[in-house]
Structure 1
Amino acid sequence: MISIQSALTFLFTLKFALDFLSPFRDLNFVIFNTFVLLLFISQKYILQSIHKRHALLLGAYLFFCFIWLSSSGNVEHFFKFASLAIIFFVVRASAMHLDCNAIPLLSQRIFLIFIALASANFLISTELADPANREFFNFEHANLLGSYLLTSLPFLYISLLQERALTLRKTIISLLTLLSTSTGAFICSLLAFVNIKKLSLRFIVLNVIFSLIAAVTSYFYLRHFSPEMFAKIFGPLHLLLGGGGSDLVHAARQKLPIQVLGDEYQGSMLWRLYAYIVFIDFIIEQPYWSLFFGNGFLGFLEIWDGIAPHNDFLLILIDFGLLAFLALLYFLVRSFSWCLRRDIFMTPLILIMTLRLLTENNIYSYYILSNFLIISIVFFQAKEKLNKDHESTNHN
């Protein structure tokens, strides 16, 4: 029988290799889930870990998947989302049976594999794509690559590395997100350097002052030397402070092209604000059934010429309904609560995840969603086990 540590190592290696190196996404889905299914069938401890409460939750989740299928008729995404249930049970049971002494070493090994394969993707991209123009091999958009890179951060928090080594590896992730040209992912990666335990009023004040100086400097520099970047970053502020907020709302509610606001207001930040108004109006006006249960897989495509809201909270509310949205909020609140009770040092991870959900659409990129799921499960199970082992050692 394959050892749990070997099974998890192979599972993550297979996942990363397929996501970074294989452009056949549908085939990747079949290969990865076949391996997961084989583990589910062959490893007795997995079935033994499923209790009655888990079976009820599984039934409820699959029930909603059928509702979303009936609303959309999208069989492909039904199978993808339904498959997450089996992945959850396999990875959860495996993580629960990990040996405390093996967890840090396993995390370090998986992280190094992730970095090696991410680096290979960047090298391939220089030959087959155009990174300078935000085009990367195997990733539909630079922001999706940025999100995928951020999913590796939890491994650093369970590897028990010394502070210097931990900082070095966080720096590697930040540099990779910078190379991905995803501004949001790079900014999120910087949060990983914040040590919540060492936060002080002096630290906060100094950073606020530094941020204000940087913002003012950037304002004048970009205004004179990079008008395009200036419009992207400061365009929304100019529009709103100049009394253009009502024009923005009117154009969004009429679903007019954003170009009607002027060429100087075409930045991604303003576009997101514009899109949020469009989709929030739709949410308010939709029938109660759709409000509670959603419009089904890819339901957002019918709202605004197939454009996504660039906000996973809105996307979940539209496609999966208020109940799924509340489930997500419950998960985030429980995660923050867990950090505050068990290890406040982990809080930046939850902040990073929340910010990424607020500014991008990740959930329909199955490779990101499944990667986030398996890494989150290992992270929480491993941290819980390490904390209990630490408490037991101190008690003895």
Structure 2
Amino acid sequence: MKLFLDFFIPARELDFAVFNGVLFVMAIGLRVSPRISWRGFAVIAGVAIFFLAQLIRTPTDTIGYKLLTMPLLAVLFYNLGRSMDRDTLSRGYSVILVVFVFCFGGNYLLSAALGHLASREFWNFEHANLLGSYVLVMLIPVNFLATESRLRGMNVIKVAFVVMAFLTTSTGALILTLAALMRERKRSASTVLLTLASGCLVAVCALFFLNEFDKSVYDKIVAPYLLITGGGLDQLIQSARGASGITHFASDQQGSFTWRIYADMVYALFLANEGVTNLLAGNGIGGFSQVWSGAMPHNDFVLILVDFGAPFLLFVLVYVTRLFRYVARYAIQWRIVLIVITVRLTFENNIYSYYVLSSGLIFASLTIGALSERVVKKRSVANVNSKATGLREA
């Protein structure tokens, strides 16, 4: 149901109300019992109280109400994941992927029929990059099926997602999808160097191909280089000081990469002039709008710093670091996907798009719940075996 709402129903607030209402009824009907440690409860309660404070601070912005549901979604689907065995979750993810492919295909055909594709627009998505982010979010169930199940045809599924990432016209989504589908394995130094050299060769060939057959994409990629070599760096810095935009630059210097560099400069200058109080407390939900005529910074971590303050950003970074450590220790097969999602957050705006953020949180919570339950069982077995060994030696 959620996928259908996200892709086809152009009323985001109504979608939010319907989805959470149905979810609440289902949670009661299924009698999902939340199990959470005191430490986890303290963290979830702290985040919920923080978002409640942000909502009170900016009660007219609907994103505050949506963010307030995130801790509840995390707890609900984490516990649901813990209650599901590998085969059950695999079957559920298989169904979800089939529905997603149909929703994506239907949305693409509808957008084509409406004549939106020529301008990189898709029905019900504010920007093509958000559709690209949605494809990247779906790599969580894809990776679960690839690493935790015995489902046949995974290569076909992977190719299908590369094709969908390409169709979104989001260059970042395409590159990250290709990276996420690599297998995590130990590699020697020579293998790593050979991989890097091969990647560079492929990149050079791709640029040559794009220059010959798709000039618009080529210009988008090389725009920052053309700007700097054309002596426009100082002018770019001056434009950033006044947040006046880059439309006055040559057309081949205005690619999306140039916009991202420019946005980083604008927000860096803004933060450099912020007082200590605003850096600690943030500017509230939607506070970014006072920086650059309502334009976001193309970086969710910078957005968190501007709107929610340095302490909350530090909390997020600590959690991401702990997640990387957990994955490195217990679930190395998830490291590439985690890197991909972190990179996407670093170069795109996602957290204020509830349909993308909530889907990512739901799949992540389900997967973490399932994997953590397995880790707990392995620890229990290891402890029993250790005690048995000790008794035999005694």
Residue 352 of structure 1: aligned partner: 340
Cα offset for 1:222? 5.2
Cα offset for 1:335? 1.9
1:92 aligns with 2:78: yes
The answer to whether the Cα contact below 8 Å between 2:3 and 2:103 also exists between their aligned partners in 1 is yes
Residue 168 of structure 1: aligned partner: 156
Residue 127 of structure 1: aligned partner: 113
Secondary structure, aligned partner of 2:33: helix
1:291 aligns with 2:279: yes
Partner Cα distance (2:149, 2:28) in 1: 35
Cα offset for 1:126? 2.4
1:201 aligns with 2:186: no
Residue 140 of structure 2: aligned partner: 154
Residue 277 of structure 1: aligned partner: 265
Change (3 A) 1:388 1:132: farther
Cα offset for 1:383? 2.2
Scaled by the length of structure 1, what TM-score is found? 0.87
Residue 10 of structure 1: aligned partner: none
Cα offset for 1:103? 2.6
Match of 2:20 among 9, 28, 33: 33
1:142 aligns with 2:128: yes
Cα offset for 1:56? 3.2
Residue 16 of structure 1: aligned partner: 3
Partner Cα distance (2:213, 2:111) in 1: 30
Change (3 A) 1:33 1:271: same
Match of 2:52 among 66, 81, 90: 66
Cα offset for 1:41? 4.2
Scaled by the length of structure 2, what TM-score is found? 0.87
The answer to whether the Cα contact below 8 Å between 2:81 and 2:368 also exists between their aligned partners in 1 is no
Partner Cα distance (2:370, 2:319) in 1: 18
Secondary structure, aligned partner of 2:254: coil
The answer to whether the Cα contact below 8 Å between 1:68 and 1:294 also exists between their aligned partners in 2 is no
Change (3 A) 1:90 1:164: closer
Change (3 A) 1:203 1:172: farther
1:181 aligns with 2:169: yes
Match of 1:250 among 235, 238, 246: 238
Match of 1:366 among 351, 354, 379: 354
How many pairs are equivalent? 382
Residue 237 of structure 1: aligned partner: 225
Partner Cα distance (1:275, 1:373) in 2: 27
Residue 373 of structure 2: aligned partner: 385
The answer to whether the Cα contact below 8 Å between 1:312 and 1:358 also exists between their aligned partners in 2 is yes
Cα offset for 1:43? 4.8
1:116 aligns with 2:102: yes
The answer to whether the Cα contact below 8 Å between 1:45 and 1:93 also exists between their aligned partners in 2 is yes
Residue 389 of structure 2: aligned partner: none
Cα offset for 1:347? 0.8
Partner Cα distance (1:106, 1:196) in 2: 24
Change (3 A) 1:271 1:321: same
What's the Cα RMSD here?
2.6
The answer to whether the Cα contact below 8 Å between 2:165 and 2:174 also exists between their aligned partners in 1 is yes
Match of 1:46 among 23, 28, 33: 33
Which range moved further: 101-110 or 15-24? 101-110
Residue 391 of structure 2: aligned partner: none
Residue 213 of structure 1: aligned partner: 201
CA offset digits 1:111-152 (Å, max 9, x no partner): 222223222222322223522431211111111011011111
Residue 342 of structure 1: aligned partner: 330
Q: Percent identity among equivalent residues?
A: 32
Which range moved further: 213-222 or 193-202? 213-222
5+ residue gaps in structure 2?
Answer: 386-394
Change (3 A) 1:121 1:203: farther
Cα offset for 1:37? 2.1
